[in-house]
């Protein structure tokens, strides 16, 4: 839990570390996720490298409020993020998006191109692709500790990163009042529709001129590596970095190299 600010009447939890060029870190969409769970190995390090790291919990995730009647949509998430940037008083910034967060980063850059300095897309959604077993498992999560352990094993290539304690911690986070109810409402079956709803038109993605770093784990079982290759083809100012022996948790499994890549790219 970090700081709290009201955005459109929604109590929004966020972390704000460091000074310097502002960078938004947008988390993924797994059950029990939060900004801190996603970025805990990254934003303290990058804050020391001269960046102001802002990491909010998006609507329906983490410790940010979620009204019971809220209808989740990309438009709603973009507007919530726009409200957050306005409240923080930042007018131009970079965005780092993980998975679902990559889709949000793309949609935001399309809608507010003048605000976005650079993009980093990691294991990104945001284009159409066939539903994977791993993503179906994540979005269709049935909350038990055993199921959480199974899901985390899918997320990580390195089995040593996953433990029963981690599964129990993520399960407890997912079982806080209202969390699973909100999560279940985001990506109901048929889940291919959820992928489509998060996707931006390819011709609009191709119009993004911000320098973009595309990062992906080659062994990702949740979001296919072909997504990274397609985004690299579409984005006119893109660089592509693939990690071997890495799943969907690039920022955790390859934290040291990931942090170095971001620090160099965002400061350059």
Helices (H), the chain: 35-39, 43-48, 74-88, 100-111, 133-139, 145-155, 164-174, 179-186, 192-198, 202-205, 225-234, 250-253, 255-267
Which one-letter DSSP state was computed for residue 121?
A: E
Q: Cα(42)–Cα(20) distance, rounded to whole angstroms? A: 16
The sheet that has 21-26: what strands, in order across it? 3-7, 10-17, 51-56, 21-26, 93-98, 116-122, 212-217, 238-243
Q: How far apart are CA 7 and CA 30, in angstroms?
A: 23
Catalytic residue among 34, 66, 94, 99: 99
CA 15, CA 57: separation in Å to the nearest integer?
9
Residue 34 falls in the annotated catalytic set = no
Answer yes or no: 165 catalytic.
no
Exactly one of 34, 80, 220, 241 is catalytic; name it.
Answer: 220
Per-residue tokens: 123: 């294991």
Indicate if 248 belongs to the active site: yes
- Across-strand partners of 243? 217
Catalytic residues: 99, 220, 248
């Amino acid at each position: 839990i970090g700081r709290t600010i009201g955005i459109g009447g929604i109590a929004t939890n966020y972390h704000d570390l460091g000074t310097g060029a502002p960078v938004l870190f947008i988390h993924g969409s797994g059950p029990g996720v939060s900004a801190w769970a996603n970025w805990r190995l990254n934003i303290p390090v990058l804050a020391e490298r001269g960046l102001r790291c802002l990491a909010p919990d998006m609507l329906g995730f983490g410790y940010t409020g979620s009204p019971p009647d809220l209808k989740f949509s990309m438009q709603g998430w973009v507007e919530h993020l726009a409200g957050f940037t306005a409240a923080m008083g930042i007018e131009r910034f970079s965005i780092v998006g993980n998975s679902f967060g990559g889709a949000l980063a793309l949609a935001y850059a399309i809608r507010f191109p003048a605000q976005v300095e650079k993009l980093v897309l990691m294991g990104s959604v945001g284009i159409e692709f066939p539903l994977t077993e791993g993503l179906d498992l994540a979005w269709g999560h049935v909350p038990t500790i055993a199921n959480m352990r199974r899901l985390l094993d899918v997320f990580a290539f390195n089995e040593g990163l996953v433990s029963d304690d981690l599964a129990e911690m993520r399960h407890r986070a997912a079982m806080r009042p209202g969390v699973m109810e909100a999560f279940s409402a985001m990506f109901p079956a048929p889940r291919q529709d959820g992928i489509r709803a998060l996707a931006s038109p390819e011709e609009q993605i191709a119009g993004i001129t911000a320098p973009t770093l595309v990062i992906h784990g080659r062994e990702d079982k949740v979001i296919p590596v072909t997504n990274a290759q397609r985004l690299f083809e579409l984005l006119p100012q893109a660089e592509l970095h693939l990690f071997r022996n890495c799943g969907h948790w690039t920022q955790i499994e390859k934290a040291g190299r990931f942090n170095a890549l971001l620090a160099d790219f965002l400061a350059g």
